[in-house]
Homo-oligomer: A and B are copies of this chain.
Amino acid sequence: MIKSYDSNDYDVIVVGAGHAGSEAALASARMGQKTLLLTISLDMVAFMPCNPSVGGPAKGTVVREIDALGGQMGKNIDATYIQMRMLNTGKGPAVRALRAQADKWQYHEQMKKVIEDTSNLTLRQATVDELIVEDGVCRGLITNTGARYHAKSVVLTTGTSARGRIFIGELNYSSGPNNTVPAIKLSENLEKLGFKLRRFKTGTPPRVNSNTIDYSKTEEEPGDKIPRHFSYETKDEDYLKNQVSCWMTYTNKTTHKIINQNLNRSPMFSGEIKGIGPRYCPSIETKVVRFADKPRHQIFLEPEGKNTKEVYVGDFSTSMPEEIQLKMLHSVAGLENAELMRPGYAIEYDVIDPWQLKHTLETKNIKNLFTAGQMNGTSGYEEAAGQGLIAGINAALRAAGQPGFTLGRDEAYIGVLIDDLVTKGTEEPYRLLTSRAEYRLILRHDNADLRLTDYGFKLGLISEERYSKFLAKKEQIAQAAQAVKKITVHPTKEVQEYLTSIGEEKLKAGVKADVFLRRPKVKVTDIERLTGMHISNERYVREQIEINVKYAGYIKKEQQQIDKLHRQEAKKIPVDIDYSAIDGLATEAREKFAKIRPETIAQAERISGVNPADMAILSVYVQNGRYQKIQH
């Protein structure tokens, strides 16, 4: 029998030091709350069990948002990347995306060091077995060594460790990611506390030794020369000079044949894996089956770090038996003689159905208990970190007796992510995509600071120094925006020649610089050169002016939609409304409303399976103020 004992008390306790937990704990400690971060293994803090990279479409924007709110992920990847690339530079600003290849072990080491050096924060290796809950309020928790910690609020971020089970073909065994010990008892405790858990699964591809790849058969993807960073605080002079390359190759008919012939040995197809996998990060076997007519699929060869020969075989996630994985690998151009270092595997784990959460990520069921990350049904480091930050902020606010903090769908991808989770739940590991955001042109990676730094500062997560720099930048943007409205571009010979050179029609008469700037290829610097007038020296200021001017029409349209959204959001639904008392609601809508308990009319509208008639009934009912409370 484990004897339990009273250990220290904390304001906030965070369970799990993955990507979610690290952000949560740092935010809480930086907000002045005495914080404890407990995790199963200190050697796996902010560990990347899958792709050694951060960013990409939507996800990269989340990293910027985290940074603007005073989180750590952007700074951490800026300190440890080995390649940086801006994706989709040819496309519009809404889908441009920064992506960095990480030195996976340095990323871990750096995050751990930052945590160790943060005041108010204690990092400790421990496995949490049980929550202390009294009258529906979470008061702390108990670890496997018997330590009883009390706290004002608790954040759970258990990732893929909760009752984790690894699958490689016919082989399966109880394990956390990367052959670490799993957490078993906490899941049992959550079920006893009334939470609905479900099984999800995710997978990772094999790793191979770089020295055994024939790169001549692959296509190189080098890093960018132009310096770019995730954090708004990182300086251009710190941009990494010697970047490593990634490489691209393809599956082929032989690969697909090997997969098809062995589907019966895949635990995903044989039915051994019950957990539901991520639609947007499918295994290679799923892709081959789902897109049977595609002759080939891209594969990325990504180095896992500076000081290792391990290479991640991106987009080749699989839970096939090792024997088949080897055959699959060796059928690919460049990998004919590749030496396998680690086989791919799938992992099944427990998640909490996220409709059990509020927008603050507090559970509806138990007060002062927050959950974040993969355990809320998402997939991806960035999604985890974004949630972790919000949960950590709210846990800290709760501990300080202050009201909660939430982000709207119109303010941040993080807002979209959380609203999707709590409003719609998720039937599979949820991944952020640009298509999930209604206001893509407003939720850009380049303006995350403009959208969110004010919040970060008010929360105490952005320093005075950084904030005053931010205000200066805002001021510069305002000035530059004024400048382009005032400057006139005249149809001089030079201007006309320039327009011809970029394939644009000549000017008929002088125009204001902002009108001139609407032409797609025109840059602010061109206007400065042609007119001799000064607009801004700052590349990030010029970028804002260019985007705001060129996309003004679209942005305005999105802004109008947002205004409408705000009106709907202003219509709050009373917390204790009794849906069974509303006449005329369709059964499905009634059940969904009762389960999800939307906070506003806007949120109710977004619940899937709710039709306009139901919304009309609900709106009228709420607006009349004639609602009934649930009978306790």
Tell me, in angstroms, the Cα distance from A218 to B105 when the chains sit together: 33
Q: With A43-B178, A179-B181 as known contacts, state yes or no: A125 contacts B341, CB within 8 Å.
A: yes
* Listed stretches A106-114, A239-247, A368-376, A380-388; interface member: A106-114
Q: Is the CB of B171 within 8 A of A117?
A: no
- A340 within 8 Å of B by Cβ? yes
Closest to A345 in B: B145
| Chain A, range 164-189, C-beta contacts under 8 Å to B | 168-171, 173, 175, 178-181
In contact, A339 and B122 (Cβ under 8 angstroms): yes
Closest Cβ neighbor of A340 among chain B residues? B124
**A171 contacts which chain B residues (CB < 8 A)?**
2, 144-146
Cα distance A610–B113 in the bound complex, in angstroms: 57
When the two chains form the complex, which single residue of B117, B170, B175 contacts A211, counting CB atoms closer than 8 Å? B117
* A461, chain B: closest CB distance, angstroms: 21
Which residues in window 309-346 of A have CB below 8 A to B? 309-310, 321-323, 326, 339-343
Contact present for B2 and A170 (CB under 8 Å) = yes
How distant is the Cα of A110 from the Cα of B308 in the complex, in angstroms? Answer: 8
A192 within 8 A of B: no
| Contact string against B for A residues 483-527, beta-carbon threshold 8 Å, 1 for contact and 0 otherwise | 000000000000000000000000000000000000000000000
Query: A308 near B109 (CB under 8 angstroms)?
Result: yes
Which residues on the B side are within 8 Å of A147 (C-beta)?
322-323
Is the pair A343, B170 in contact by a Cβ cutoff of 8 Å? no
State whether B323 touches A3 (Cβ < 8 A). Answer: yes
A234 on the interface (CB 8 Å rule)?
no
Indicate whether A123 sits within 8 Å of B321 (C-beta atoms), given known contacts A109-B307, A146-B171: no
Question: Given A116-B308, A171-B2, are A341 and B124 also a contact pair (CB < 8 Å)?
Answer: yes
Asked if B3 and A170 sit within 8 Å, CB to CB, the answer is yes
B40, B146, B343: the one contacting A169 at CB < 8 Å is B146
A109 with B105, Cβ < 8 A, contacts A145-B168, A341-B124 known: yes
Q: Which residues of B contact A42 (CB under 8 A)?
A: 207, 310, 341-342
Q: Are A322 and B169 in contact, CB atoms less than 8 angstroms apart?
A: no
Contacts of A90-132 to chain B: CB distance below 8 A:
105, 109-110, 112-113, 116-117, 122-126
Q: Is the CB of A146 within 8 A of B323?
A: yes
Q: What residue of chain B has the Cβ atom nearest to residue A212's Cβ?
A: B122
A447 at the interface (CB under 8 A from B): no
Closest to A326 in B: B7
Smallest CB-CB separation from A309: which chain B residue? B116
- Please state if A145 and B343 are interface contacts (CB–CB under 8 Å): yes
CB pair A146–B125 under 8 Å, yes or no, is no
By the criterion CB–CB under 8 Å, are A123 and B341 in contact?
Answer: yes
Check: A5 CB closer than 8 A to any chain B CB: yes
28 residue pairs from A and B, CB less than 8 Å apart:
A2-B171, A5-B321, A5-B323, A40-B179, A42-B341, A43-B178, A105-B105, A109-B308, A110-B307, A113-B307, A113-B308, A116-B210, A116-B211, A116-B308, A116-B341, A117-B309, A124-B339, A125-B342, A125-B343, A126-B343, A144-B171, A145-B168, A146-B170, A146-B323, A147-B323, A175-B181, A179-B181, A180-B181
The 3 closest A-B pairs by CB, nearest first: A116-B309, A145-B322, A5-B323
Interface residues of A (CB under 8 A from B): 1-3, 5, 7, 40-43, 105, 109-110, 112-113, 116-117, 122-126, 143-147, 168-171, 173, 175, 178-181, 207, 209-211, 265, 307-310, 321-323, 326, 339-343
